[in-house]
Amino acid sequence: MSLRALADAAGVRVGAAVTAAPLRSDDRYRHTLVTEFNSVTAENEMKWARLHPDPDRWTTVDADLIATTAHEHDMAVRGHTLFWPHLAIPDWVTGQTSRAEMLAAVADHCRGVFARYGDTVARWDAINEPMHWLEGRLADQPWLGVIGPDWPIDVFRVAADAAAEVGVAPELWLNVTHADVLSEKQALCIELAQQLLDAGLPLHGIGLQTHCLVPDFIPELPTPEHLAAVVGAVADLGIEVAITEMDLLAEPTPAGLVRQGTHYRELLSAALEQPRLTEVTFWGFTDAHTWITDHFGERAPLLFDEDYRPKPAYDGVADALRHRASSLAREETVR
């Protein structure tokens, strides 16, 4: 049974980040994607600087390919991302010195995105990585000061208003790093979500990226208990929660790959216990195409090897989905 079939039975999305180049040129890449996943995220192609590099110029060919592929294969799309303070916002935006003009640029960008993808992309990372990468404080790029200290609320409001103006109602999410493992980031993430909700904004959910970059970037893996606790803390806000960018560094040895499979199984089994968890997305699916290689070397972080053969990681994920599907089936029998 494919991951996709298991996820359908489990009532969740199982997704992968994709890039347009192999989607266009590599049949194995395309085939594995559409067979095994029911959701896609554009790894880079829907980021602001890629989609809308100049005020009057949109470059949508690659993003369109991803959206069309998803549509043809009955897959959901997670839009990534409207606003990412760390990267991928063009200079003509970050160079604005007036708050009104900067927010007008955000509004214009969001309206353009919603007008083009309103029919195909129903779930957006409205703000990606609102916090500092490793510390429990908001991202503090100097240009954000032009908007002011409440910039997440201001930006989120502009995005929600833009959707209403265009006449669409996409889900708007926050997507956060390392709240799965750093408790001060978890606390700030929940606080920020609460602030958005208190401001009456339509925060639909929180994406936990869950890049398991151990030991190179973060000291330790989340424990299954810790991940379940974060997922539960988000669910307690009454909103949805997703794993949005999971990958997990391995020693590329047989034993290392088996250990990796165990970690995937344990972490996702714990997260999938939570009914408000509606999506598990990996940051790629084959070790042939992963951002990890450029940053951390050959660390085999994904579910398929470079020849598209399923790894122990694949089996671990399948087991976690199967477990949730069985629990769901049991609950439905009881009802």
CA-CA distance, 318 to 12, in Å (whole number)?
13
Cβ atoms within 10 Å of 189's Cβ, excluding its own: 25
Is 87 an interacting residue with respect to ligand G3I (CB under 6 A)? yes
Is 180 an interacting residue with respect to ligand G3I (CB under 6 A)? no
Residue 13 backbone phi and psi in degrees, to 5: -85, 140
Is 154 an interacting residue with respect to ligand G3I (CB under 6 A)? no
The answer to whether 269 touches 223, Cβ cutoff 8 Å, is no
Site string for ligand G3I, 211-250 (x = CB under 6 A): ----------------------------------x-----
Is 286 an interacting residue with respect to ligand G3I (CB under 6 A)? no
Is 44 an interacting residue with respect to ligand G3I (CB under 6 A)? yes
C-beta closer to ligand G3I: residue 106 or 318 = 106
- C-beta of 125: minimal distance to ligand G3I in Å? 8
Is 62 an interacting residue with respect to ligand G3I (CB under 6 A)? no
CA-CA distance, 307 to 286, in Å (whole number)?
8
> Distances from the Cα of 71 to the Cαs of 40, 62, 125, 245, 269, in angstroms?
10, 14, 19, 21, 29
Is 88 an interacting residue with respect to ligand G3I (CB under 6 A)? yes
Rg (CA), the chain: 19
The answer to whether 41 touches 75, Cβ cutoff 8 Å, is no
Is 209 an interacting residue with respect to ligand G3I (CB under 6 A)? yes
| 39-47, 57-65, 144-152, 324-332 -> range binding ligand G3I (CB under 6 A) | 39-47
Q: Which single residue brings its beta carbon nearest to ligand G3I? A: 291
The answer to whether 185 touches 177, Cβ cutoff 8 Å, is yes
Using CB under 6 A as the criterion, which residues of the chain lie in contact with ligand G3I when the complex forms? Answer: 43-44, 47, 87-88, 128, 209, 245, 291
